[in-house]
Amino acid sequence: MKTRNTKQASLLLNYIYNLLSSLTNILFPLITAPYMARVLREEGNGQIAFVTSVAMYFVSFTTFGFTLYGQREVSKYKDDIDKRSKVFFELLILKVFFCMASVAALFWLIASPYVAQSYKGLMSICSIQIISVVFDIRFFFQGIENFRELAIRTMIMRILGIICLFIFVKDQGDVWKYLLYTSLTMLLANIIMWPKVIGLIKFTGIEIKAIMNCVRPAFFLYLPVLAETIFSALDSTMIGYLAVDSEYENGCYGSAIKIINVISIVMMADGLVFASRNAGDYAKGNYDSLKEHLGIAFRYVWVLGFPIIAGLLVLSDQISLCIFGEGYEKVPLLLRLFTVRVLTHGIMNVIVNQYLLPTGREKICTAFNAGGITANFILNLALIHRYGCIGAAIASIVSETLLTCAFIAYFAFEKKFWNRAIIRQSSKYVIASIVMSIPVYIFKQVWSGQWYLVGIIIIIGAIIYGLSLLVMKDEMILVYGKRIIAKIKRK
């Protein structure tokens, strides 16, 4: 019993640190998006969306599957300094070689006729982001479950990023400055982690065969990550090439995605915390613990997902106006369409990142993701030229919904960790979200325009939602709320 409580406390602490890091990632776009929207306008933000979508492919290749593989391997040997150090240096050498290949490929693309002249300089700046991957050692701290260091680093660098934005970005011609300081900040954020790791590793002998042996398992872990990268970047890339007014369309699309990405960070905040623990539980045969974690993770998706969906459906016009200002006419509709993503991202985070990948089912993830990407690509070809960013959003929603259904079917078919209660338990959150949306809609009609009024409406909605769950005696609120309060009192 004592061991179980210690374990839960560790999970809770790691979750809090990871949530702090996630909250920093949430506050950064919420603070900077209004300024960028008004200074860089739709066209400037559209340039950023397109260039970063292209750079993302090269960053992803350099990262390969080394982050997931490294986290998994370090978690296995977190009590053995020799073996965890061996993993560290093997992955470091591999990342150097992958970085060299990626940078060379990027500059070949820049020199080719496939990139417009106006984008060549901006893409060159993004090469810094590729180099920064070499210094990214988050996998090590995730593997030893030290989320504190990651949270502190994230908060410091995000604050620095906000300061740089307000100092250097003054008008629409400063897109290159934004990309430069963003890239340099990313590099610095990775470098400052190195002093922390020196006392946790020691140099070990390097064997070429051992290094090459890392590539195959990392490759299979990379394929699902590649699919996720393509899903994230494909729409912006194809809008850049297919849409009539590509910069405006990408500006609206990228602005809506910023809000959805913020929500996704919240929805996936438990992912890294449970991933390492679930991999260990599965390897040791602790299936009851793994099943409990998956049940908690699904409930986490329901308790946050449904009220967020209700809020976006009701308040998307006000949210868009408050954050992005005048213009960006397509953002409200995009936000309503993307409410589907709130659930698909949350569900896939649980099934893929917290179950299939930690338990070695990379091939299944790859096969399903390949189908989803193919569907997205075909639908984009059919819809973007005619409907612009709205067509891209519809293509993503359809393909991601089909992909999520495939993962759910596979998870349920296995039966090992599936329980019908996983779906049934969502009913309370649906009811509470509907109850919440009624007064939110009424207040919306009375109060509108000012950002603080929208904030008040959101707070009122959250209170009504919480009270509704209390009335229905929801376990997530009662049991886990009591645990958190008890832990706080003990401290």
Distances (CA, A) of 201 to 138, 207, 218: 14, 17, 21
- Asked if 265 and 26 touch (Cβ cutoff 8 Å), the reply is yes
User: What distance in Å separates the CA atoms of residue 263 and residue 341, rounded to the nearest whole number?
Assistant: 10
- Asked if 397 and 372 touch (Cβ cutoff 8 Å), the reply is no
For 426-447, b where at least 16 C-beta lie within 10 A, e where not — what string?
bebbeebbebbbeebeebbeee
- Asked if 133 and 105 touch (Cβ cutoff 8 Å), the reply is no
User: CA nearest 458: which of 252, 329, 316, 270?
Assistant: 316
pLDDT tier at 338, thresholds 50, 70, 90 = very high
> Which H/E stretch holds residue 414?
helix 389-414
483: pLDDT strictly greater than 50: yes
Q: What is the CA radius of gyration of the chain?
A: 23
User: What distance in Å separates the CA atoms of residue 138 and residue 66, rounded to the nearest whole number?
Assistant: 10
Both tokens assigned to 136? 């990214």
- Asked if 375 and 402 touch (Cβ cutoff 8 Å), the reply is yes
Backbone phi, psi, residue 401, to 5°: -65, -45
Please tell me which residue, 366 or 393, carries the higher pLDDT value: 393
396: pLDDT strictly greater than 60: yes
What pLDDT was estimated at residue 115?
Answer: 85
Average pLDDT over the chain, rounded to an integer: 83
What pLDDT was estimated at residue 312?
Answer: 92
- Asked if 277 and 8 touch (Cβ cutoff 8 Å), the reply is no
User: What distance in Å separates the CA atoms of residue 275 and residue 285, rounded to the nearest whole number?
Assistant: 15
Both tokens assigned to 308? 């967020």
379: pLDDT strictly greater than 90: yes
What pLDDT was estimated at residue 290?
Answer: 77
348: pLDDT strictly greater than 50: yes
What pLDDT was estimated at residue 432?
Answer: 93
- Asked if 433 and 306 touch (Cβ cutoff 8 Å), the reply is yes
Q: Whats the size of the chain, residue-wise?
A: 491
User: What distance in Å separates the CA atoms of residue 348 and residue 238, rounded to the nearest whole number?
Assistant: 24
The share of the chain scoring above pLDDT 90, in percent, equals 25
Least-confidence region, from 8-17, 35-44, 48-57, 238-247: 8-17
- Asked if 85 and 202 touch (Cβ cutoff 8 Å), the reply is yes
User: What distance in Å separates the CA atoms of residue 50 and residue 236, rounded to the nearest whole number?
Assistant: 6
User: What distance in Å separates the CA atoms of residue 230 and residue 361, rounded to the nearest whole number?
Assistant: 20
Both tokens assigned to 221? 């872990």
Least-confidence region, from 94-98, 313-317, 326-330, 460-464: 326-330
What pLDDT was estimated at residue 279?
Answer: 66
For 328-352, b where at least 16 C-beta lie within 10 A, e where not — what string?
bebbbbbbbbbbbbbbbbbbbbbbb
Distances (CA, A) of 103 to 59, 95, 321, 363, 373: 9, 12, 39, 28, 25
